[in-house]
Amino acid sequence: MTGSRCWFIVGLLVMSLGTAVAWANEPAPMSGGRDRVDEMMLRHNLSPAFTKLGRGVSNALFGWLEVPLNVHKRYTTTDTVGSGLTGVATGLFKGAVRMGVGVYETVTFFLPYPEHFEPILPTLEYFQKHTKRRPLPLE
């Protein structure tokens, strides 16, 4: 090793030790079980933005689930072909809208939102905790 390369490595080691000492002097976390990340989330109110991001990614990835959901909603035993085609057409349209809204919400999640912000579309029935379906009859 040349002399300048050796001094360069020694200088990097000294600088890294100095930063370790500076990091050791950080204040302790706030009381009440909150750390710096929690304080930042409360101060800047980032929770709705990340909720919007998650909702947008979910809508963009699972918008295709509108097709089987609408086929199931519109299916009748008296008009199987017509109700099936109507369900597919409605599902394709609603799925395209849901995927478009998902892409929009994913791209714009970091923008400021109005005070009384509401989701653009309701949650899919597949992801709701309480569905309105009746249980299957046991015969």
For residue range 40-83, what is the model confidence (pLDDT) as tens digits? 766 767 777 888 888 899 999 999 989 988 888 888 888 888 88
Q: Which domain holds residue 82?
A: 62-112
Helix-helix angle 66-74:80-107, to 10 degrees: 150
Compute the residue count for the chain.
139
Is there a domain that residue 71 lies in?
Answer: yes
CA distances (Å), 2 to each of 9, 12, 138, in order?
A: 11, 16, 85
pTM for this structure? 0.59
Is there a domain that residue 38 lies in?
Answer: no
Is there a domain that residue 15 lies in?
Answer: no
Number of separate domains in the chain: 1
Is there a domain that residue 124 lies in?
Answer: no
Query: 59 near 121, Cβ under 8 Å?
Result: yes
Q: What is the DSSP letter of 83?
A: H
Is there a domain that residue 132 lies in?
Answer: no
pLDDT at 31 over 60: no
Q: Once rounded to an integer, what is the mean pLDDT over residues 20-32? A: 54
Is there a domain that residue 45 lies in?
Answer: no
Is there a domain that residue 79 lies in?
Answer: yes
